[in-house]
Structure 1
Amino acid sequence: MIARTLAVGAVALTLASPVAPAVAAPTVHRPLTETVTAAVTDRLAAGKVPAAAYAVVEGDQVVTGGYGAGVTADTPFVLGSISKSFTALAVLQLVDRGAVRLDAPVTEHLPWFRTAGAGGVPTVRQLLDQTSGLPTSAGVADLQDTGRSLEERVRGIAMVRPSSAPGERFQYCNLNFATLGLLVQEVSGRPFGDYLEAEVLRPLGMSHTYTSVDAAREAGLVRGTVPWFGLAVRREAASFPGALPDGYLVSTAEDMSHYLRMQLGDGTLRGKRVISADLLALMQRTATSTPAGAAAPHTDGYGLGLATGTAGGTPLVAHEGDVTGFHNDFGLLPERDTGLVVLTAQNSFLLDNAAAYTAGLAVLSGEEPATGAGGFWSRYLVVDGVAALVALLMLLRAVRLARGRARGCRRNSARRALLGIVGAVVVAAAATVGLVYGGGALVQGYPLDPRLLLTSAPEVAVVAGLLLAYPLVASLLRTIGALRRGRQPGPAAPQTSAPQPARRSAPYAVTTSALIRSS
């Protein structure tokens, strides 16, 4: 009774009292660098990236980290085309010192330089902003021979026919920066790697950045990977000294944070001037328009060795880098005094390799990063499913042909089967040409290099190879079946009840018959 009275009283008191306002949960404001780091690592996990490193810069504050077993911010990664921005910086240093003129023809320092075309000679500026006229495809094919020296690569341009006049339009070409690297070497009188170490890397305090892949390997270079049907297959980084200026500089997230801080400032770092503020601003200023994302996500322009664009309505300076097994990105938002670099040991045509970087960049620019699982397994389930279906259908068809059960197989003569082989070869050749040129034009604007397809999207190469090889294999099986049937004895003649004509006997048979009848 007492308990009931107390309960009723409590209810009455509650109803009579004013309703207490709900207490809102306190809003937790995480530091910007922490939010960016969370976005980056979430996307790395979603993309099944086996190894990565990152650095976030906000003013003088720097946060770095590694992702994956044994990976730290001091683990080296091959930078790919991010190397081009360092080469541009080296060239602009020589411009700063009066040793090179931006609008001088490259022949002023490389008198033997020429192309296979009849057009003019590109200037140093046109090499820097990728408007030399050299086609993108020439720079891709050139990278397949890792034994060539820097000078051999540049002299090889004599065999390249420009696809436009110098200064006419943007065409991303690795050979532009190979030429600039050789120019630095000729003007400075030092090997390009030695100049870069002394004049760029050392002043920036980039003590874990390497101009040699072999040296970086001894220092713990992470092994790149290429997904093969969803499995990470390790790929050893090539040692290619001749491509140092355009793709083979090796660095770490920690060292790259030094580079970003210099780029966000006035060309100095820790009191050491690397480049004048005016030339640094020129480097980051748009010189020519480009297709969207041609040199980095969210960019549509190119300066002198750097891509330009906007992210969240804020001006962006950036560059990406790709080599077999590695994809890397860095971006600067000068108005916000922030920057981000993400280095990954994974590269595939089938993946959004820049997903972690773009997620972090979205946070830096004040936007919400894209959500989702990154599409890794969804993409590879589709790819694996298509590959398995194609292989199964081809196998079943091949078994039927081998057993001679396919429709039309019995009607094929050996001649028709041989003609089928010729036709299959023609079809396969035409399909290959269509894939290389037509597919390349649709995907990237220039022909695909089959060797590059094997290293960057091996599962696509496998499926394409099966589709191209099947007509030839089917024709061979038909031919074998026709030849085997041609060697088999024909069926016995059918028996009939019609009377058979009398056979003429030999003389000795007639005599023998007469003797038998007379006995």
Structure 2
Amino acid sequence: MSGAFSRAVLAVLLATAAPVAAATPVTASQQRLAGLADFVDGVMAQQIATREVAGAVVTVVHDGRVLFTRGYGFADVGKGIAVDGAATLFRPGSVSKMFTWAALLQQIELGRVDLDADVNAYLDFKIPPFEGKPILVRHLLSHTPGISDVSGITAPTVDKLTPYGDWIKTHIPERRWPAGTEVSYSNYGAALAGYIVERVSGEPFADYADRHIFKPLGMTSTTFREPLPAALAPRMASGYRLEEGRLTPKPFELFSSIMPAGSATSSAPDMNRFMLALLNGGGAILKPASVRLLESDSIANAPDLPGMAHGFFVLRAAAPRIVGHGGNTGDFHSNMILVPEARLGFFISETGGQGSYGGRTELTEALIGRLFPQAPSPRVAAAAGEAIPAGAYRMNRRDYSRPANPAYDLAVSADGNNALTVVNDGQTTRWNRIGPMLYEKATGARAGGPYERLRFFGDEGRRRLSFSSLPHVTYHLVTP
């Protein structure tokens, strides 16, 4: 895939990207872009064969234009309806939050919302303080409100839907630690941001998104509404469960209880329009300063690892900086990734059996690894007196109103003086020391993508563990 390409071939393969001048040598970066569509074809063919992927869409933008958009597999397996990359609709899941953060920033631009204000200033109900301190608006963007996760965010049928504005008033999470101190991904926090937009604008959130995000960008196939409007419903890809070796279709999922956090439905061309707007300084929806805020660092759980931007996750801090957001419903698994300095972005969404969750991640890592390869770090010996803090570690993002399930804990064990193993859900990985309390996955780059790192931090009384691939959560040592 990375061999030399003639300028004539490049002109064809990059027909919708920035042209290469005749006198300009073909760079390695241009070669990787030129073969990218074929590369994705190969990965998707393998996933459809081995991961029970029913259907998928992959689209890439570069330098202000769409590089390619392709559909794979079936929108409806039973009827034999193929995915149409230009028309089939997918559920981006929590990638929806990026529309909500854009809406919130519009209200900040208008002076209706202050980043450093108590969220209660904009609500018609009260979020209680923790240790006398409130949740600020900026804490929503950084996923640091310091609250419990909340269960029961889906509805089984349309008649069981609760308007999200009512739901968030009756499901206020427990405050667990001071806001702004620790990242713990929060659907409730994003739903609260959408409600603030609704309150200060005077427009129902779905209407607001239609008028101020989707319409200005020409995103005519995107909506937060559930069930889908009649004009869009026939284009929806089906979700599936794997039963007795067969992909069985499932009903359209309903997330209206947390609408701004994950209810969107969209098409690949519409996601292109959104990515291009962000890569172009905000396009018709945001000011460049707002886009810079979305992409800039806010807080990281662990030293030496990427953390949160504002809304976006930081996948790589530099060389180049990469930000993005993933999304998982029960049926759809998506990623939107932006590389601002390369003026490049891509969106992936897959549906099918459980393997489509791993498939989304695998393809994301493979694309990043191909486009922006990264060398492994040198291994180092342990410093004198530095012991591996072995034990069970528990994720901070959970519903604290329910008993913790030890089956979900990580089991960390020393493997000699300079390596360790982590057992997670029955899967064991090995990690090599590359610095003080810093380890890198021994199996190398994840599917050719970024080298994954693990970092211990905190004192013995509050020892914690974070992964570079999971900037939105951390794990606490479970003490007896």
How large is the RMSD of aligned CA atoms in angstroms? 2.9
Q: Whose strand proportion is higher, 1 or 2?
A: 2
* Alpha-carbon distance in structure 1 between the residues aligned to 2:373 and 2:197: 39
User: What pairs up with 1:292-331 in 2 under 5 angstroms?
Assistant: 300-310=306-316, 313-331=319-337
- Give 1:193 deviation, angstroms: 0.4
The aligned counterpart of 1:345 is 351
Per-residue deviation, residues 454-480 of structure 1 (Å, max 9, x unmatched): xxxxxxxxxxxxxxxxxxxxxxxxxxx
Give 1:56's match in structure 2, choosing from 53, 60, 69: 60
* Alpha-carbon distance in structure 1 between the residues aligned to 2:120 and 2:318: 42
SS at match of 1:184: helix
- Give 1:168 deviation, angstroms: 1.4
- Give 1:237 deviation, angstroms: 2.3
User: What pairs up with 1:256-271 in 2 under 5 angstroms?
Assistant: 256-268=271-283
Partner AA of 1:154 in structure 2: I
* Alpha-carbon distance in structure 1 between the residues aligned to 2:192 and 2:280: 28
Taking structure 2 as the reference length, the TM-score comes to 0.65
The aligned counterpart of 1:68 is 73
User: What pairs up with 1:48-447 in 2 under 5 angstroms?
Assistant: 48=48, 49-62=53-66, 63-69=68-74, 70-73=82-85, 74-115=87-128, 119-135=132-148, 137-138=149-150, 140-143=151-154, 147-158=161-172, 160-215=173-228, 218-228=233-243, 231-268=246-283, 273-290=284-301, 300-310=306-316, 313-346=319-352, 348=354, 351-366=358-373, 437-442=405-410
Contact conserved, 2:333 with 2:351, CA < 8 A, in 1?
A: yes
* Alpha-carbon distance in structure 2 between the residues aligned to 1:228 and 1:358: 29
Contact conserved, 1:327 with 1:347, CA < 8 A, in 2?
A: no
SS at match of 2:40: helix
* Alpha-carbon distance in structure 2 between the residues aligned to 1:141 and 1:131: 21
Contact conserved, 1:327 with 1:346, CA < 8 A, in 2?
A: no
The aligned counterpart of 2:428 is none
Residues 1:37 and 2:37 are matched in the alignment: yes
The aligned counterpart of 2:394 is none
SS at match of 1:86: helix
Contact conserved, 2:155 with 2:254, CA < 8 A, in 1?
A: no
The aligned counterpart of 1:507 is none
Per-residue deviation, residues 206-247 of structure 1 (Å, max 9, x unmatched): 111122242256241101123346543322222333322001
Per-residue deviation, residues 78-121 of structure 1 (Å, max 9, x unmatched): 11000111100000000001111011001111142224966532
* Alpha-carbon distance in structure 1 between the residues aligned to 2:120 and 2:317: 38
Report the count of equivalent residues. 342
SS at match of 1:83: helix
Pair 336,288 (structure 1): closer, same or farther in 2 beyond 3 Å: same
Per-residue deviation, residues 119-154 of structure 1 (Å, max 9, x unmatched): 53201110111110112x32x444467622212222
- Give 1:248 deviation, angstroms: 0.9
Per-residue deviation, residues 414-434 of structure 1 (Å, max 9, x unmatched): xxxxxxxxxxxxxxxxxxxx9
The aligned counterpart of 1:430 is none
Gaps of 5+ in 1: 1-24, 293-298, 369-433, 449-519
Partner AA of 2:217 in structure 1: L
- Give 1:352 deviation, angstroms: 4.4
SS at match of 1:234: strand
Contact conserved, 2:96 with 2:261, CA < 8 A, in 1?
A: yes
- Give 1:335 deviation, angstroms: 1.2
SS at match of 2:35: helix
* Alpha-carbon distance in structure 1 between the residues aligned to 2:367 and 2:271: 16
* Alpha-carbon distance in structure 2 between the residues aligned to 1:312 and 1:107: 36
Pair 352,67 (structure 1): closer, same or farther in 2 beyond 3 Å: closer
Pair 335,199 (structure 1): closer, same or farther in 2 beyond 3 Å: same
* Alpha-carbon distance in structure 2 between the residues aligned to 1:67 and 1:119: 53
Contact conserved, 1:223 with 1:234, CA < 8 A, in 2?
A: yes
Range with bigger deviation, 124-133 or 303-312: 303-312
* Alpha-carbon distance in structure 2 between the residues aligned to 1:267 and 1:277: 6
* Alpha-carbon distance in structure 1 between the residues aligned to 2:242 and 2:35: 29
Pair 26,187 (structure 1): closer, same or farther in 2 beyond 3 Å: closer
Partner AA of 2:409 in structure 1: A
Contact conserved, 2:240 with 2:247, CA < 8 A, in 1?
A: yes
Gaps of 5+ in 2: 14-31, 75-81, 376-401, 412-424, 426-480
The aligned counterpart of 1:19 is none
Contact conserved, 1:213 with 1:250, CA < 8 A, in 2?
A: no
Taking structure 1 as the reference length, the TM-score comes to 0.61
SS at match of 1:175: helix
User: What pairs up with 1:482-497 in 2 under 5 angstroms?
Assistant: none
Range with bigger deviation, 278-287 or 140-149: 140-149
* Alpha-carbon distance in structure 2 between the residues aligned to 1:213 and 1:325: 15
Per-residue deviation, residues 263-296 of structure 1 (Å, max 9, x unmatched): 111111xxxx31111111011111011479xxxx
Give the % identical residues. 24
* Alpha-carbon distance in structure 2 between the residues aligned to 1:26 and 1:53: 28
Pair 287,26 (structure 1): closer, same or farther in 2 beyond 3 Å: closer
